[in-house]
Chains A and B, each alone.
Chain A
Amino acid sequence: MTETRFRSILLTPAQSEGARVMSICNACRYCEGYCAVFPAMERRLDFHAADLDYLANLCHHCGACYRACQYAPPHAFAVNVPRALASIRGESYAHYAWPAGFGRLYARQGAAMAFALTLALSIVFFVANALVGSTATAQAAGFYAVIPHGVMVTIFGSVFGFSLCAMAVSAWRFWKELPVAAQPGAGRDAFDAILRLRHLDGGGEGCAQGGEAPGAARRHLHHAVFHGFLLCLASTSVATLYHYGFGWQAPYPVLSVPVVLGTVGGVLMTLGAAGLLWMRLRRDPRLGDPRQFPMDVGFVGLLLWVAVSGLVLLALRETPAMRFWLIAHLAGVLAFFLLMPYSKFVHGIYRSLAVLKHAREQRTPNPFGLAEG
């Protein structure tokens, strides 16, 4: 609480740079057609910590404004909106993380990733081996012969549950820094903008993909990951329903609903994550905050691992290699769950909330309806 109040008075260096850049942008406004950040900026004359956290998370990091900027380096003003906002965004993930001390994991994403993976692998490996020959596995078939269903649910359910709680607290903290009252139609508009990634299109031409020519590939790849992820979530949900609702035990046939959903989702995630990873490595480094490289690459890499290992597991589930790939896949999933609140995963939460704030805000009159009068 103290920290929050402190922050609202003093800006961090990244926020100071953001405020400096936004003040220049606010006097220029040439980019207002690109995305939501600039119309949101035009509703403000001063930029406080909460405003900057909001604007930073509203930015979808397409890079269009940097390429179009007459004040970009080598100009003395050295305006670089994507980088300034990326830095603030990274800090905001740490700032709003709960429990508070865990925000430090963002500063050491490489170590956090390694630790989470090791821990997850140890847990899964230990459980799988400890139960070899026990009654819990002896009567089960397929995956549950390696790790019984109940054990899986207990471990993954509790970690997932904790992560959801942690993210809910973070989301609440972010929201109440700058609450915006509900407006009719805003929720629907925000939902649409989030699902379509409306603000990742550089005003229609798409975003920087590595070179200077804009394109839609990055958005499409993100769609693949996002919707692939949702399909995998749906697959798990249907399987849970089968298990508890109908008493149908996994493994399910290839053409069953959970397997089809999981396969399509896995393929989409694999393609999307691989593409995004490839683009991230080739992206113009000036567009981002170099300190966030481990966070970006680690997160997308982990997603890729979860997707690929899941697909391999499906392909080999009738063979002795199943045991190895099950452990590999589950360790990846567990690491992902462990890190959810302390990884790049949270970008979706803050960005969605920022989009909702923006949709609400835009439905009220601009307090500064300025004209060059």
Chain B
Amino acid sequence: MALLESQRDAIGGASPDRADGALPRRINSDALRAPATTSARPTERRVDVLVIGGGNAALCAALSASQEGAEVLLLEASSRAQRGGNTVHTRNIRCMHNAPEDVLLEHYTEEEYLQDLLRVTRGRTDPALARLLIRESARCRPWMRQHGVRFQPALGGTLHLSRTNAFFLGGGKALANAYYRSAERAGVQIRYNAPVVSFARQGGRLAAVGIGRANDAELDEVEGALPLVERVQARSVVLASGGFESNLTWLGEVWGDAAANFRIRGSRFNRGRVLRQMINAGATAIGDPRQCHAVAIDARAPLYDGGIVTRVDCVSLGIVVNTRGERFYDEGEDFWPKRYAIWGRLVAVQPGQLAWSVIDAKASGRFMPPVFPGEEAGDLHTLARKMGVPVEAFLSTVRTFNDSVVPGTFNHAQLDDCRTEGLSPPKTHWAQRIDTPPFRAYPLRPGITFTYLGLKIHEDARVEGFENVFAAGEIMAGNVLGEGYVAGIGMTIGTVFGRIAGRNAAKWAHGVGRDGTVAGAGSRCR
């Protein structure tokens, strides 16, 4: 049997061209029969628990609901080859622990975790949910292991996280693969290319959802109703479909024209359709639509899915100038975690949303290797021309900077005493003259990781405004993350609330009669 399974894998596997049409394995035959044309009446289906989304939170919910004995259908908007949403770009989960645990060093107490969270969110967090999140984070790793996730010591270059974060062997895609395998074994029905395009509300409940065509998964906004391939009635629903960061139209509404120059670091499938329709249908929204986690990434990154490799890690080793050739912020203000989180926004308010990180030969080999080579020149004049910034202004900026650098002892591992004097804005640490060729410049643009606007939930992960709808992951992250970010907490939110949502969705489904009381064609809300 196992051989047959893997044989089918080999044939139907995740080859880019076939995977899109590859059928999920071990699912009821009626789930397979999507009509070829949408002109026909959409197929009707009933399940106990419907999970919308295909990333970490969705999988944790599906696995937990299945463990509670529910019949689960998971709808992933993407193809099989692109499944997993932003999870595939993650690599760690922040976990509370009172003593060393395998890959987690020392201890990381509930109080310290909470303080970290309060600090980055500046108090914009729901204290009850935050405590729940932190306590449950201590309990989730054995469960993760049970479903095939493996951990490893902190990755090279991330040792500062080895106390607070557990790293997945192979990263988030390996984690998602393990969860998908476990879900298939558990009999969870998985549908790929299944974007949810409509919702039917009945009283306080979500009665049914409509699955659109595969191509609709990448639509930003649509006028009027999209044709349905299938309608699914579910006793309870878990929303784990992410935020709206991949929706350039929506980002444009919030950020204006600047959004056209943003890059999306993650999945192209987080269009926010579920989020917006649920808010329109009466779910309580939480979080500021303008808030997003944005970092400065290489301007040459692809529009979507650039992930970790597009980060530019030499900001603190040189200077950053905008397209006018002028500096605009203290490059040496702080270490990576803080610096990382602010530079996206800093670049977003520069002209054309473009800036250049400029270093000299002294910085070479001192930062994580970038994926795109920098512009390189033997002199600053040539470099400025390659960058396309005004030469005189740039040279003057470098000259002024170099003249302001005071002698110090360079130490990149601490906030050293290499700084500028009489310069505005100053560079308060790691300031060294830009004087040793070859000089390099890396173009920067804002790269959005995720958005904070979400649905308000109760402690049982139930969405406020609905009886049978639960939420997990990015779509409800705003409950605990009003702003800011602390490494690895996204996966904690997805895992903890995914499990809670899945369990409670299954309980709700069992509590409702199996005579079809939740069925019926409610009014479609958009």
Mark interface residues in B141-153 (1 if CB within 8 Å of A CB, else 0): 0000000001011
- Take A24-B309, A29-B157, A70-B89 as given contacts and tell me if A211 and B13 are in contact as well, using a CB distance cutoff of 8 Å: yes
Q: Least Cβ distance of B416 to chain A in Å?
A: 11
A101 within 8 A of B: no
Closest chain B residue to A205 by CB distance?
B150
Residue among B79, B81, B88 with the most chain A CB within 10 A? B88
A267 to B520, CA, bound (A): 65
Closest chain A residue to B178 by CB distance?
A205
Mark interface residues in B363-382 (1 if CB within 8 Å of A CB, else 0): 00111111100000000000
- Quick check: B16 and A74 within 8 Å, CB to CB? yes
Q: Could you tell me which residues of chain B, from 260 to 317, have a CB within 8 Å of some CB in chain A?
A: 302, 305, 307-309, 311, 313, 316
Closest chain B residue to A39 by CB distance?
B156
Mark interface residues in A54-98 (1 if CB within 8 Å of B CB, else 0): 000000000011011111011111000000000000000000000
- Quick check: A30 and B91 within 8 Å, CB to CB? yes
Chain B residues with Cβ under 8 A from A373's Cβ?
A: 316, 335-336, 367, 412-413
A73 to B340, CA, bound (A): 28
- Quick check: B6 and A210 within 8 Å, CB to CB? yes
Mark interface residues in B91-125 (1 if CB within 8 Å of A CB, else 0): 10000000000000000000000000000000000
- Quick check: A74 and B181 within 8 Å, CB to CB? no
B1 within 8 A of A: no
- Quick check: A209 and B6 within 8 Å, CB to CB? yes
- Take A210-B7, A370-B368 as given contacts and tell me if A67 and B309 are in contact as well, using a CB distance cutoff of 8 Å: no
- Quick check: B307 and A28 within 8 Å, CB to CB? yes
A203 to B450, CA, bound (A): 31
- Quick check: A203 and B169 within 8 Å, CB to CB? yes
- Quick check: A211 and B368 within 8 Å, CB to CB? no
B451 within 8 A of A: no
Chain A residues with Cβ under 8 A from B89's Cβ?
A: 70
- Take A23-B371, A203-B150, A373-B316 as given contacts and tell me if A28 and B156 are in contact as well, using a CB distance cutoff of 8 Å: no
- Take A213-B181, A282-B10, A371-B160 as given contacts and tell me if A30 and B413 are in contact as well, using a CB distance cutoff of 8 Å: no
- Quick check: B302 and A24 within 8 Å, CB to CB? no
- Quick check: B81 and A74 within 8 Å, CB to CB? yes
Mark interface residues in A200-238 (1 if CB within 8 Å of B CB, else 0): 000111000111110000000000000000000000000
- Take A26-B369, A27-B369, A372-B157 as given contacts and tell me if A211 and B9 are in contact as well, using a CB distance cutoff of 8 Å: yes
B158 within 8 A of A: yes
- Quick check: A371 and B155 within 8 Å, CB to CB? no
- Quick check: A371 and B413 within 8 Å, CB to CB? yes
A367 to B7, CA, bound (A): 44
- Quick check: A42 and B316 within 8 Å, CB to CB? no
- Take A28-B307, A210-B9, A211-B6 as given contacts and tell me if A68 and B156 are in contact as well, using a CB distance cutoff of 8 Å: no
A27 to B311, CA, bound (A): 8
Chain A residues with Cβ under 8 A from B88's Cβ?
A: 70
A23 to B335, CA, bound (A): 25
B454 within 8 A of A: no
Q: Least Cβ distance of B412 to chain A in Å?
A: 5
A144 within 8 A of B: no
- Take A31-B170, A34-B170 as given contacts and tell me if A68 and B177 are in contact as well, using a CB distance cutoff of 8 Å: yes
Chain A residues with Cβ under 8 A from B369's Cβ?
A: 23, 26-27, 45, 370
- Quick check: A213 and B6 within 8 Å, CB to CB? yes
Mark interface residues in A22-49 (1 if CB within 8 Å of B CB, else 0): 0110111111111000010010010000
Residue among A23, A27, A210 with the most chain B CB within 10 A? A27
B47 within 8 A of A: no
- Quick check: B313 and A372 within 8 Å, CB to CB? yes
A277 to B351, CA, bound (A): 60
Partner of A31, one of B14, B171, B305, B412: B171
B515 within 8 A of A: no
A184 to B82, CA, bound (A): 46
- Take A213-B181, A372-B336 as given contacts and tell me if A30 and B9 are in contact as well, using a CB distance cutoff of 8 Å: no
Chain A residues with Cβ under 8 A from B6's Cβ?
A: 209-213
Chain B residues with Cβ under 8 A from A213's Cβ?
A: 2, 5-6, 9, 181
Mark interface residues in A6-34 (1 if CB within 8 Å of B CB, else 0): 00000000000000000110111111111
B15 within 8 A of A: yes
Partner of A371, one of B10, B15, B157: B157
B174 within 8 A of A: yes
Partner of B170, one of A23, A30, A211: A30
Partner of A29, one of B15, B156, B174, B365: B156
A24 to B369, CA, bound (A): 9
Q: Could you tell me which residues of chain A, from 267 to 285, have a CB within 8 Å of some CB in chain B?
A: 282-284
Closest chain B residue to A46 by CB distance?
B369
A32 to B153, CA, bound (A): 10
Chain A residues with Cβ under 8 A from B367's Cβ?
A: 370, 373
- Quick check: B171 and A68 within 8 Å, CB to CB? yes
B36 within 8 A of A: no
B159 within 8 A of A: yes
Mark interface residues in A272-316 (1 if CB within 8 Å of B CB, else 0): 000000000011101000000000000000000000000000000
- Quick check: B177 and A212 within 8 Å, CB to CB? yes
Q: Least Cβ distance of B298 to chain A in Å?
A: 10
B172 within 8 A of A: yes
- Quick check: B156 and A370 within 8 Å, CB to CB? yes
Partner of A74, one of B82, B170, B177, B308: B82
A56 to B153, CA, bound (A): 25
Chain B residues with Cβ under 8 A from A23's Cβ?
A: 369, 371
A368 within 8 A of B: yes
A100 to B165, CA, bound (A): 52
- Quick check: A28 and B158 within 8 Å, CB to CB? no
Residue among A64, A69, A211 with the most chain B CB within 10 A? A211
B385 within 8 A of A: no
A154 to B391, CA, bound (A): 78
- Quick check: A32 and B7 within 8 Å, CB to CB? no
Closest chain B residue to A69 by CB distance?
B173
Residue among A68, A69, A282, A284 with the most chain B CB within 10 A? A68
Partner of A212, one of B13, B82, B365: B13
Chain A residues with Cβ under 8 A from B13's Cβ?
A: 211-212, 284
Closest chain A residue to B167 by CB distance?
A33
Q: Could you tell me which residues of chain B, from 368 to 406, have a CB within 8 Å of some CB in chain A?
A: 368-371
Closest chain A residue to B316 by CB distance?
A373
Chain B residues with Cβ under 8 A from A24's Cβ?
A: 309, 371
A296 to B153, CA, bound (A): 35
Partner of B171, one of A70, A212, A283: A70
- Quick check: B9 and A204 within 8 Å, CB to CB? no
Closest chain A residue to B79 by CB distance?
A74
A247 to B10, CA, bound (A): 55
Partner of B177, one of A32, A67, A77, A368: A67
With A67-B177, A71-B307 already in contact, 17 other A-B pairs whose C-beta atoms are closer than 8 Å = A29-B157, A30-B174, A34-B170, A64-B174, A68-B173, A70-B172, A70-B307, A73-B16, A74-B16, A74-B82, A77-B302, A203-B150, A210-B9, A211-B7, A211-B13, A213-B5, A370-B367
Please report A residues at the B interface, Cβ cutoff 8 Å.
23-24, 26-34, 39, 42, 45, 64-65, 67-71, 73-77, 203-205, 209-213, 282-284, 286, 367-368, 370-373
Q: Which 3 A-B pairs have the closest CB atoms?
A: A211-B9, A211-B6, A30-B171
Please report B residues at the A interface, Cβ cutoff 8 Å.
2, 5-10, 13-16, 79, 81-82, 88-89, 91, 150, 152-153, 155-160, 167, 169-174, 177, 181, 302, 305, 307-309, 311, 313, 316, 335-336, 340, 365-371, 412-413
**16 intermolecular pairs with C-beta atoms under 8 Å apart:** A23-B371, A30-B155, A30-B170, A30-B308, A31-B170, A39-B156, A64-B174, A67-B170, A68-B170, A68-B174, A211-B6, A212-B6, A286-B15, A370-B157, A372-B158, A372-B160
